[in-house]
């Protein structure tokens, strides 16, 4: 465990020594959680994942591709039409007619 000192700058900024930034993967713009503990303050990296906002076309693609039977496919086509979309223009694979 390494111990180093630093100062608090204007607006509460703290410089984290390079050795610790490299060790924990902190880079400019990194998101951190700061937690108050009885012993002091704990900084931890935060992992953020992008969120996809689905368009109507993407939702229709899910509906059509997840249909397994011809009956489910027919229901999916109906739902896609209710969404105001043409199922023939949505990229998807039709289920086998077995």
Tokens 């086509």 sit at which residue? 77
Residues 65, 21 share a domain: no
The whole domain housing 95 covers 50-98
Arithmetic mean of pLDDT, 81-86? 95
Residues 79, 40 share a domain: no
Number of other residues whose CB lies within 10 A of the CB of residue 83: 14
CA atoms within 13 A on the CB side of 28: 0
Residues 54, 98 share a domain: yes
| pLDDT tier for residue 45 given thresholds of 50, 70 and 90 | confident
Q: How far apart are CA 38 and CA 83, in angstroms?
A: 55
Run of H or E residues at 79: helix 70-82
Residues 32, 75 share a domain: no
| pLDDT tier for residue 96 given thresholds of 50, 70 and 90 | confident
Q: How far apart are CA 26 and CA 42, in angstroms?
A: 14
Domain count, the chain: 2
């Amino acid at each position: 465990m390494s111990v180093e000192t630093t100062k608090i700058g204007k607006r509460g900024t703290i410089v984290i020594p390079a050795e610790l930034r490299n060790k924990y993967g902190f880079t400019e713009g990194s998101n951190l959680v700061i937690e108050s503990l009885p012993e002091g303050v704990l900084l931890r990296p935060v992992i953020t994942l992008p969120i996809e906002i689905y368009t109507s076309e993407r939702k229709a693609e899910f509906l059509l591709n997840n249909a397994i039977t011809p009956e489910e496919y027919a229901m999916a086509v109906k739902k896609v039409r209710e969404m105001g979309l043409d199922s023939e223009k949505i990229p998807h694979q039709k289920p086998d007619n077995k």
